Amino acid sequence: MGILKFEDFFHPQKDEEYTIITFFDNMIRRDFLDILRRMANGQGCMLCDSVGYNLPEEYDEDDEVKDCIEIWEVCGNNEHSYDLSYERFIEFLEISGKIWLNNNMIRHHFRAINKFDQETIEMFLNSIKKRYLK
């Protein structure tokens, strides 16, 4: 399967039961802002990969793609969880931000954005920080 490029997030395979877009859409609506607030308050959050999402058949346990489709969940201490580093958190934030922007462009009948420059990423990150990391 190889490492996904950001463009690949906008064209998930049709046979995937849970597409990456669906996952991040749900994450933003449900859990993402709560996780931002917890991190802003200095509380740790965990990643958990044992909540029953079906992954593509060619999924490779050692592939870096794993980090892009882990399930965001505040978990108790168990063998399936590990701490989320700030660096990894920012990577997730950028990916979800790109998808959020792309979906909103489509929703408002603008051309979908497949390539994002650093300025767009910074704009999204700054808007999130101003709004939710008070």
Confidence at 100, pLDDT banded by 50, 70, 90:
low
| pTM listed for this prediction | 0.28
Token pair 């029953």 is found at 52
- What is the pLDDT, as a whole number, of residue 16? 42
CA-closest candidate to residue 92, choices 42, 128, 134: 128
- What is the pLDDT, as a whole number, of residue 109? 53
How wide is the angle at C-alpha 25 spanned by C-alphas 22 and 30, nearest 5°? 120
**H or E element: which one contains 121?**
helix 118-132
Q: What is the mean pLDDT of residues 111-119?
A: 50
Confidence at 129, pLDDT banded by 50, 70, 90:
low
Confidence at 131, pLDDT banded by 50, 70, 90:
low
On the question of pLDDT at 104 being above 50, the answer is yes
Instruction: Count CB atoms within 10 A of the CB of residue 124.
Output: 18
- What is the pLDDT, as a whole number, of residue 67? 36
Cα(90)–Cα(87) distance, rounded to whole angstroms? 5
Token pair 């462009």 is found at 105
- Residues 42-84 pLDDT 10s: 444 433 333 333 334 444 444 333 333 333 333 333 334 444 4
Cα(108)–Cα(94) distance, rounded to whole angstroms? 21
